[in-house]
Structure 1
């Protein structure tokens, strides 16, 4: 028995080496709101398959422009549905590969624990100088913020106070660093383990903005990339769906 056990070790070692030799890397374009979840997902992917991800974070519109201009991405995780659909129309995505991996939620957030009340009434007062939003032309969360302000009838009073980030990531940084006292950001950016990491927030009622459905799509360049295909499969798994929910998304 002992001799047989010893014989197994070289075989296991060879299997591990073989797995490493066949590991692939995928270049993925990821909407800024999903920056934290994708790090955790990439770790799971590497541990379970050996495949690795090279992650580029940005506004959905900006990432789309890069792909149109030939950027070497294998997968796109967008913050909307129309951009992946457009990539299919453009002939840049694998037909039939698109699916919704998450539905995002908008929050009004401040790094100050006493600044934002649970009803969002802070928006109606003069207790802040600047409010941050993402660029509504390129970032779906920015468009949702504009829609929210319009429906609340506060667009005219808030517009002079707006600070606009190129992505929801930059918008979060404006608030986190105090360059804006409050800002509309993604819930995923301020939660950790399902709880608020710090500061104060108002969860914007979902009747104030259209659903932020977020689609993934396999790009033509990634059609034969094993890491890209493995990621698309992993995003549909029950455990990863639970992980995504822990950041405040609906699935």
Structure 2
């Protein structure tokens, strides 16, 4: 087991090639600025610890209550500086979304605004029975700013996403599951162990090269043109044939 801290309010832990990234910023785990973490930190951690999956969660009762509004208000007179921070934050979430491994947001309590945008950048979301979700920005005269208006429609369609974002209403775990916003509901306080078991369930007895190749190939369908994604699949497939394909006798024993 290995622990380290970065930027004071995000901690990292690795156990058996599964990493846990925990947001720790007071009781509500507010996001103090859009670029709350350097994406290169995640890439370095992934390679150094040979991670096959990452869990993102919040310390204590909340996943995250979203952005610090005082921080947003403080940038009203300096939009260029805030725009730069915002673009770096978007780049961070893009990095999370494109990681070639299994990513799971383990959610308890409040998951609002920027917190929900972080969760949406993961491939899977596991939430407790008491988890609640919302984009409350519309009630403050603003809107989601870290690609919530992009990722939410991609998950549930334009009309439903528009209704949720404009109304700012709160969604409980059961509705979130029905909408396909989360993948599993678990008892309160069981979200992180459940996320770990979920990753282990998918990746057990799979090589790191195989896991990353499969995830990368699926990711490519979202971020590359069709012909390029198909070409990359062939490259990844042939690499696995050359380096990972089990001999016939081993396959029969498995």
- For normalisation by structure 2, the TM-score amounts to 0.26
Q: Greater helix percent: which structure?
A: 2
Query: Which protein shows a greater Rg?
Result: 1
Higher normalized contact order (CA 8 Å, seq sep 6+, divided by chain length)? 1
- For normalisation by structure 1, the TM-score amounts to 0.26
